[in-house]
Structure 1
């Protein structure tokens, strides 16, 4: 089985694995760490989208470069802030 050929597809696969890892953490219990991992994956994805040339973006490209970077950055920052700001619940 061959891996993804384009650099962007490789970054996309790594981002997908990071999101799955973060979701596994959420399910396992430490939800703050999991949400922060998912948010960090989107921030890294936005950085990857900014440095990978258009000819190699592959699955990392959804819309235009500015839209992809803005959306992934906003989503990533929002998730990290969410993980940091929500107070502990008594339980």
Structure 2
């Protein structure tokens, strides 16, 4: 949640590329945590089954990182 909050703050202060990068990284960290933490302790990381959660979070995180790195900044960070 701290990563998502940091990403939101960065986007709020017009640092959308950095915010997108932090959000994508937070999703990848969430995917790794979901993969290794037991379902009884997963809390908000648990939405559906473990394979589904890990796959979706890792995919969306990787796409966010790719977008943040590939889109031209147009003069902003």
TM, length-normalised to structure 2: 0.89
Return the match for 1:38 from 23, 35, 57: 23
* Corresponding residue SS for 2:74: coil
Residue correspondences, number: 76
Unaligned stretches of 5+ residues in structure 2: none
**Which residues in structure 2 correspond to 1:20-39 (within 5 Å)?**
20-39=5-24
Name the larger-Rg structure.
Answer: 1
The alignment's C-alpha RMSD in Å is 1.5
Unaligned stretches of 5+ residues in structure 1: 1-15
CA change 1:17–1:90 in 2 (3 A) is closer
Counterparts of 2:48 and 2:32, CA distance in 1: 15
Return the match for 2:56 from 41, 52, 71: 71
Counterparts of 1:75 and 1:45, CA distance in 2: 11
